[in-house]
Structure 1
C-alpha cells in the first residue's frame, strides 16, 4: 500500500480526534463534521471505520475526564468562564439539581447519554458534575464511557452509510452533516418535552 494513502487520511483522523477531545471545553468545535470527513477520507483503508470509532470514543471520554478534573480542582479558567457566562452557570446549576434530585440511576444515565447529542450539553454536564459535592464522579464516568461509545458509533456509522450511498465525497459530507444536524435538533425538541431532561437545554 502506498504510504501516502495512509499518511494523508491520518491527518484527518488526528484533526477529528483532537476536535472530539477539545469540544468538551470548546463546544463550538465542529467535531461531528470532522469525524464524518475523516470517515470519508479513510474509506480506502481497511478497518478504518472501526479504528476511527474506537479513537473517537476514547477521545470523547478523555475530554470528559479532563474537564471533570479541572472543574473538581477549581481551576481558575473554569471559574472565569462561568463568571463570564451567567446562562452557562445557570444551566450548570440546573443540571446539578437534576443529578442530585430524586431520580433513578436510569434517568441519570439518560441525561449523560443524551447530553452527547445536545449542543453544549456535554460541557454543561461535565461542569455540573465537577462542581457537585454530592454526585459521585465515578458513577458519572461509567455512563460517560457508555455515552462516548454510543456517540462514536452513531457519528462514524452516519458517515460510513452516506459514503456508500453517494458516489461524491462532498455530497456524502453534506448529507451526513445535514442528517446529524437534523438528528441533533430532534433530540433537543425531545429533551424540551421531557421535564427530567429539560435542564440540558433550558435557557437556550
Structure 2
C-alpha cells in the first residue's frame, strides 16, 4: 500500500501519526516528526485536514511526554538507585534538568524543538519530581506549538514547491533539523550567559562584603 492509498482513510492516518509521535518520545529514532511534516504536505495536496493533523500530533506528543515523565518519576529513580552507574546517570539527569531549567514553561517549550530535547526534558522533569499536572499543562502547550510548526512547515513546503512528496518531506525535515540545532545552540548560549552573569554578580557581592570596613571600638579616654 502506498502513502496516498493509506491516507485515503484520513481517520486511520491521524491515528497512526499520533501513535508515531507518541512512540517517538520513548524511542527518539522513531520518525514521529517526519510523519507530522508529511501530514502537512499531504494537507497541502488536499488529502488531509490541517486542523485534524495538528490535533492528532498534539495528542500524540502529550501522550508520549506524559508516558516518559511518569516512568521517569515512578520507576526510573528507584531503578537507578540500585547500582552505581545508575546513580551517576540520575545525577546527570538532574543536572540536565537544572541546566535546561525545566521548571520554566519557556524552557520546556524550547526543548521541544531541540533534537532529543523532548525525551531528555520529560525524563529529567520526572526524575526531579516535577508535578504531573504542571508538566502536563506545559507539555500540552509545547506539543500544540510544535505540532502547528511541523504541520505548517510541511504545508508551506508542499504549497511552494512542485517537488514529489518525498522531496517535500525531506526539505521540511531538513529545515526542522536546522531550526532545532539553532534553537539548541541559542538556548545553550542564553543559559551560559545567565550563569556567567549570576557568578559575576555573586563575585561582586562577595568582594563588596570583604571591602566593607569592620566596626571598630571607640578609643577609651585615659584619665
TM-score > 0.5, shorter chain as reference: yes
115, 119, 122: which is aligned to 2:115? 119
Describe how 1:11-30 pairs up with structure 2 within 5 A: 12-30=13-31
Residues 1:53 and 1:91: Cα distance change in structure 2 (over 3 Å): farther
Residues 1:84 and 1:177: Cα distance change in structure 2 (over 3 Å): farther
Q: Which has the larger radius of gyration?
A: 2
Q: What runs of 5+ residues in structure 1 fail to find an aligned partner? A: 199-204
The answer (yes or no) to whether the contact 2:112–2:146 under 8 Å persists in 1 is: yes
- In the alignment, does 2:192 pair up with 1:191? no
TM-score w.r.t. length of structure 1: 0.76
Q: Please report how far the alpha carbon of residue 85 of structure 1 lies from its aligned counterpart in structure 2 after TM superposition.
A: 8.1
1: CA distance, partners of 2:193 / 2:89: 16
Q: Please report how far the alpha carbon of residue 49 of structure 1 lies from its aligned counterpart in structure 2 after TM superposition.
A: 1.1
Residues 1:88 and 1:192: Cα distance change in structure 2 (over 3 Å): farther
Q: Report Cα offsets for 1:5-58 as digits up to 9, x if no partner.
A: 853565554443222101111112221112112332343236x11100011001
2: CA distance, partners of 1:197 / 1:113: 20
1:166 corresponds to? 161
1: CA distance, partners of 2:79 / 2:150: 28
1:73 corresponds to? 74
1: CA distance, partners of 2:50 / 2:56: 10
1:144 corresponds to? 139
Match of 1:27, SS? coil
Match of 2:25, SS? coil
Higher relative contact order (CA 8 A, sep 6+): 1
1: CA distance, partners of 2:162 / 2:87: 46
Residues 1:142 and 1:15: Cα distance change in structure 2 (over 3 Å): same
TM-score w.r.t. length of structure 2: 0.70
1:202 corresponds to? none
The answer (yes or no) to whether the contact 1:83–1:89 under 8 Å persists in 2 is: no
Count of residue pairs brought into register by the alignment: 187
Q: Please report how far the alpha carbon of residue 136 of structure 1 lies from its aligned counterpart in structure 2 after TM superposition.
A: 2.6
2:174 corresponds to? 178
Once structures 1 and 2 are overlaid, which stretch shifts more, 112-121 or 22-31?
22-31
